[in-house]
Amino acid sequence: MKIRTLAALLALSLGLGACGGLQTKLPAGIPAADVTARLGKPTATYPDPDGGQWLEYRGQPMGQFQHMARIGADGRLISYGQVLTSENFANVQVNRWNRDDILRHFGRPAETGRVRLDDREVWSYRYKQDGLWNSMMNVYFNARGVVVRLQNTPDPVLDERFKGM
């Protein structure tokens, strides 16, 4: 087995093990302090324009999950769950959402890069497309930081078609 494959499998297994603890069901309306008491300190916090905040519980770069807790302006939980899903990516509004919107809804990406041809930034999220396929959702931003395109591709680390390349 190649070292790259072994490293990817190890990281994935560690990520899946960490994922188990975050699958906790949290009832809406509990105080933010109870959320952090149950889940621990978030890996990042993002302000919500409505006065609340989003708490990130990171599964990237190798996991296919990322959990976000949305806290309202009243300091109580609005929602909590695994956000890297086909359904959630379908809600992204091209030409309306910006980097901050993406961070609030999905957290930090697994990878970032640039497309030099048209000078676009791209953020890539590792996830299970439709719960089945090892995929990357690539979110492209223009120079103003507005989402201009989403592109779903196979995950080159986890997709069998890319092994040995």
d(CA 128, CA 94): 22
Beta carbons within 8 Å of 10's beta carbon, 6+ residues apart: none
d(CA 148, CA 132): 26
Asked which of 3-17, 25-39, 46-60 is least confident by mean pLDDT, the reply is: 3-17
In tens, the pLDDT along 106-149 reads 999 999 999 988 889 999 999 999 988 999 999 999 999 999 99
Total-model pTM: 0.82
Structure tokens at 69: 């807790």
